[in-house]
Amino acid sequence: MNRILIVEDERPIADIIAFHLKREGYETEIASTGTMGLEMGLDQKWDLILLDIMLPGMDGFQVLRKLREKITTPVLMLTAKEEEVDKILGLELGADDYITKPFSNRELVARIKSNLRRVNVLDKADDSRKNRIVIEDLTVDFDQYQVYKKDQNVELTLREFELLKYLIQNKGQILSREALLKEVWDYEYYGDIRTVDVTVRRLREKIEEEPANPRFIMTKRGVGYYFNY
Ligand code: CA
């Protein structure tokens, strides 16, 4: 059973989310402050964390930053409609996805399933098939879900890894941001193409020697991105 941590200070909202997720077969726990969310997020094993931004005391961004120092569990941020800038900041800090309030339960469950599906696929990857590529000082192990730069392990979030994997699988081919959003995020209706730009930027900072002058993930201005191989 998949376990989901709900970090949300507004109890009625948290309860409604928990109710719907339980009905879908998920196990849930609620943390009503940022500090509690951080503690529970690190102390227990979760399949996904739903993280509200506006929390008393430690806010969602601070919690996310701390979580990302230790774990790569998928984090879905809950943002308010007027927090446009916040969505982007959340992604920059390592959120995998976000959902804008007010959201329907159907939309929430769809986004959760999309994020969990990717984790489950990765968990079930067949270890006997050695599936890795080495390009100069970059090594990507698709089975182990590991990336190394100069033999040093690089910590990527699931989305960053999925994006890198998709770019490599389609190396040399220019991929539009819309296409990437659809393929990597599974977004058909709810997406924002800036999500792609932010994730590319984060990925470059992690794997490129000079993120501003990339060697691997190239920009085709006005079109999209491609993996240079
Ligand atoms: Ca709140």
Are 7 and 94 in a shared domain? yes
Distance 55 CA to ligand 1 centre (A): 5
Domain final residue, candidates 123, 149, 183: 123
Shortest CA distance to 58 belongs to which of 67, 71, 49, 45?
A: 67
Among residues 123, 143, 171, which one ends one of the domains?
Answer: 123
How many structural domains comprise the chain? 2
**Predicted pLDDT at 127:** 45
State the distance from the centre of ligand 1 to the C-alpha of 112, rounded, in angstroms.
19
Mark whether 17 and 89 lie in a shared domain. Answer: yes
Residues 113 and 155 in one domain: no
- pLDDT tens figures, 95-142: 888 888 888 988 899 889 888 876 665 555 544 445 888 888 899 988
Specify the CATH number for the domain of residue 183.
1.10.10.10
Per cent of the chain over pLDDT 70 is 90
Determine the structural domain holding residue 156 and report its residue range. 132-227
Indicate whether 11 and 114 sit together in one domain. yes
- What band does 147 get if pLDDT is binned at 50, 70 and 90? very high
One domain for residues 157 and 210: yes
25 and 95 co-located in one domain: yes
Do residue 21 and residue 78 come from a single domain?
Answer: yes
Mean pLDDT of the 204-229 span: 94
Identify the CATH number of the domain in which residue 88 sits: 3.40.50.2300
Angstrom distance (rounded) from CA 214 to CA 211: 5
pLDDT of residue 142: 86
Ligand 1 centroid distance, CA of 40 (Å): 17
Pair 8, 107 in one domain? yes
Are 119 and 15 found together in one domain?
yes
Ligand 1 centroid distance, CA of 62 (Å): 14
Tell me: pLDDT of 145 over 60: yes
String of DSSP letters for the chain = --EEEEE-S-HHHHHHHHHHHHHTT-EEEEE-SHHHHHHHHHHS--SEEEEES--SSS-HHHHHHHHHHH----EEEEEETT-HHHHHHHHHTT-SEEEEES--HHHHHHHHHHHHHHHHHHHT--TTS--EEEETTEEEETTTTEEEETTEEE---HHHHHHHHHHHHTTT--EEHHHHHHHHS--SSS--THHHHHHHHHHHHHH-SSTTS-SSEEEETTTEEEE--
Q: Which of 122-131, 186-195, 211-220 has the lowest mean pLDDT?
A: 122-131
End residue of a domain, out of 98, 123, 148: 123
Pairing outcome for strands 138-141 and 132-135: antiparallel
pLDDT tens, position by position, 50-62 = 999 999 889 999 9
- 47 and 80 co-located in one domain: yes
Q: Whole-number mean pLDDT of the chain?
A: 88
Q: Return the minimum-mean-pLDDT range out of 65-79, 87-101, 181-195.
A: 181-195
Measure CA 167 to chain center.
16
Q: How confident is the model at residue 189 (pLDDT cuts 50, 70, 90)?
A: low
Q: How far, in Å, from the CA of 158 to the mean position of ligand 1? A: 25
On whether both 76 and 137 belong to a single domain, the answer is: no
In a shared domain, residues 49 and 76: yes
- Categorize the per-residue pLDDT at 188 as very low, low, confident or very high, splitting at 50, 70 and 90: low
Alpha carbon of 15 to ligand 1 centroid (Å): 13
What does the pLDDT read at residue 92?
79
Residue 141 CA to ligand 1 center (angstroms) comes to: 38
Quote the ligand 1 centre to 52 CA distance (angstroms): 6
The neighbourhood of ligand 1, an ion, using CB within 5 A, equals 9, 52, 54
